[in-house]
Amino acid sequence: MGIFDLQVPFFLPMWRRAMLVVVCLAWCVVEFSNASPFWGLVFGALSAYAFWQFFLSKWPDAVDNQREDTE
């Protein structure tokens, strides 16, 4: 488990994953509007990474398959 490992059971509900991406994007906009491009890029990159981990990788499907195998 790495420091940026988002594939943990806490994020299994879809609303938690979507909320994290939306909050990071909103904070990115806040930082750019306050003339802080460094922090805007940091939060923009974080939201892009979270979006990729949660919605573009096969993580939720793999977790569901593991649950079915253990039952």
Residue spans per domain, the chain: 25-60
Taking alpha carbons only, the member of 45, 38, 63 closest to residue 4 is 45
| HSE-up (13 A, CA, CB side) for residue 45 | 7
How far, in whole angstroms, is CA 32 from its chain's centroid? Answer: 20
Q: Tens digit of pLDDT per residue, the chain (71 long)?
A: 567 778 888 888 889 999 999 999 999 999 999 999 999 999 999 999 999 988 888 776 656 555 554 55
Q: What does the pLDDT read at residue 71? A: 53
